[in-house]
Amino acid sequence: MDIEEVEVVVVGGGQAGVAMSEHLGSAGVPHLVLERGRIAEKWRSGRWDSLVANGPAWHDRFPGLEFDIDREAFVPKERVADYFEAYARLIGAPVRCGVEVTSVQKNHGAPGFRVETSQGAIDARFVVAATGPFQVPVIPPIVPADAGVTQLHSAGYRNPEQLPAGGVLVVGAGSSGVQIAAELEQSGRRVYLSVGPHDRPPRRYRGRDNVWWLGVLGEWDAATPPKGAEHVTIAVSGADGGHTVDFRDLAGQGIILLGSTTSFRDGSVRFAADLRDNIAAGDANYLSVLDEADAYIALNGLNLPEEPDARVFGPEPACVTSPVLELDLAAAGVTSIIWATGYATDFGWLKVDAFDPSGRPRHQRGVSSEPGVYFLGLPWLSRRGSSFIWGVWHDAKYIADQIVIQRGYAAHGD
């Protein structure tokens, strides 16, 4: 049986796979991108209908192509997917769609790897795992499946009409949870939002968007999360033209805020008494960004308008001063729970020595402990920006360079 041979197989045709293809192509490295769905499939079928990008069009893009939209706009998710398809066409990326990689194993006694796919085997000298930062939706085992409520993960949420009539408990106050809660509330639902530890940077401050501040303050390039903030989610939103997430505003719109969700018994969900602390910590994070921005402006003598109102918070809402610690779902009319509780990775197909004993990818800037295997697109792969559109392009460039270096050694003496 003939086995197809390719120098580099890139697994996954999302933004990471497209970026990888650009840099391998520029370096003249023959490669193939295998995508089980369509290009940027997650932006099409893994997100809710009304989602827009969290960063403005001028920033959340690759260097080689602008969005066909106002540069300050937050791009709707279908247009983000269209953009990556257009980008792949622009660079002539060799993407094979509808092909799932089922296993990758080291060839014994020969260089490279055997890549098994839904359409046959391929031999590759190098493999790049670009299967996404957010692969498997995680729902904490708190409310049993037979509790009499519809339960879904934010990855499966599409729009309010999808849910049965009645109130909704949204668990998780990162970017997904706050946007879904607001949409459900605007659709006329009674909404409860369980708020855990979070950062909530300002959308704009002194005339500049948050992504600009992250850039000039060196935050996109930060190599590790700030100490103690490893498990803190980030609440930012490009919805409705973009706005700062302020939980007091959400409460003012009618959303009932709750602390972290801890347990379930006899039809009731229980919450930690941490709501006030979580909101205070989020406020402190917000104010720290303003302080850093002010210091940067002063240090560099920039002429950006002052914005003292940004430091004025509204009064604490009643749901914060007298928090609900237990919610009887039936009595409250709650018929659905949406778990906006994040994702895990699943590299079950990658059967190589590139994982630590707890199954986490073992790598340095994406160069794994299995020579010839690389990771791309993972959170904090090399920096804060690694799992985002802006950052993955730069990581892909580095990994392409590493592959070129290894090809050079392999060819030495030929």
Q: Which residues bind ligand FAD (CB under 6 A)?
A: 11-17, 34-37, 41-43, 47, 51, 53-55, 60, 100-101, 130-134, 176, 349, 377, 387-390, 392
* CB nearer ligand FAD, residue 44 or residue 270: 44
CB of 241 to ligand FAD, least distance (A): 14
CB of 318 to ligand FAD, least distance (A): 30
| Contact predicate 372/112, CB 8 Å | yes
Could you tell me how far CA 229 lies from the centroid of its own chain?
Answer: 16
Element housing 27 (H / E):
none
Other CB atoms within a 10 A radius of the CB of residue 134 amount to: 18
Q: Is 128 helix (H, G, I), strand (E, B) or coil?
A: strand
* CB nearer ligand FAD, residue 37 or residue 215: 37
* CB nearer ligand FAD, residue 53 or residue 256: 53
CB of 118 to ligand FAD, least distance (A): 8
* CB nearer ligand FAD, residue 213 or residue 271: 213
CB of 90 to ligand FAD, least distance (A): 17
* CB nearer ligand FAD, residue 103 or residue 262: 103
* CB nearer ligand FAD, residue 185 or residue 395: 395
CB of 75 to ligand FAD, least distance (A): 8
Let me know if 117 is exposed, middle or buried by CB neighbors in 10 A (0-12, 13-18, 19+).
buried
CB of 365 to ligand FAD, least distance (A): 15
CA gap 74, 409 in Å, rounded: 44
Instruction: With both helix axes pointing from N to C terminus, report the angle between 77-90 and 15-26 in degrees, rounded to the nearest 10.
Output: 20
Nearest to 399 by CA among 411, 387, 382: 382
Q: Are strands 101-106 and 350-351 parallel, antiparallel or unpaired?
A: parallel
Could you tell me how far CA 28 lies from the centroid of its own chain?
Answer: 30
